[in-house]
Amino acid sequence: MAKIHLQTIINANIHKVFDLARDIDLHQKSTSKTNERAVAGRISGLIEEGESVTWQAKHLGIYQTLTTKIITMEKPYQFTDVMLKGAFKSMKHQHIFKQKENYTMMIDIFEFESPLGMIGRIFNRLFLEKYMKNLLMERNRLIKATAEN
C-alpha cells in the first residue's frame, strides 16, 4: 500500500482550516485541472460524518468516478474518508488538524492501493504516488491561500 504524508502550516484558526478542508465547493476549485466535480451524494457545502460524495474527474486522460464516505469526524481535529467505489483497490485519507500558538498544522495521511497486484505496485512507485501527492499539494495550497486571506 502506498502512503503519502503531508504537513501544511496555515496561519489561520483551526476551525476555519477544518471547515475549508471539508468544503466540497473549494475542493472542486482546487481540482479544476482535472475537471473534478461532485456528481452525487453531498455535492456542495460542508461534508459531515456519515455522508458520501461521488466525484467525477479526468485523470490520466480517462474520466473516472470515485465515491468516498466520511467514516469518522472529531470537529475540528480530524476526519477520515474512505473509498466506497472507484479505480483504487482501496483508499483512505486521514485529515488531521493541530492548533499551534498562532497557526494550524494540517496533516494529510493518504493511503491507497492500486489493483493488479505487482503491476499496480510498480505503477504506484513509477508514477501514481507523485501524481497523487501533487493533487493533494494543489488542494492544500488553495486551502492555505483561502484561510490566510
Instruction: Say how far apart CA 67 and CA 81 lie, in whole Å.
Output: 10
Instruction: Say how far apart CA 90 and CA 71 lie, in whole Å.
Output: 14
Give the CA-trace dihedral at 89, 56, 4, 19, to 10 degrees: -130
Instruction: Say how far apart CA 78 and CA 88 lie, in whole Å.
Output: 23
Whether this prediction's pTM lies above 0.85 is answered by yes
Q: Using one digit for the tens of pLDDT, what is the confidence trace for 43-93?
A: 999 999 999 999 999 988 889 999 999 999 999 999 999 999 999 999 999
Q: How many CB atoms within 10 Å of residue 4?
A: 17
* Residue % of the chain over a pLDDT of 70: 100
| Superfamily of domain covering 2-148 | START domain (3.30.530.20)
Domain positions in the chain are: 2-148
pLDDT confidence of 142, banded at 50, 70, 90?
A: very high
Beta partners for residue 74, in sequence order: 78
Residue 33, Cβ density class (10 Å: 0-12 exposed, 13-18 middle, ≥19 buried): exposed
**Which residues, at least 6 apart from 32, have a Cβ–Cβ distance to it below 8 Å?**
none
Give the CA-trace dihedral at 77, 145, 26, 123, to 10 degrees: -80
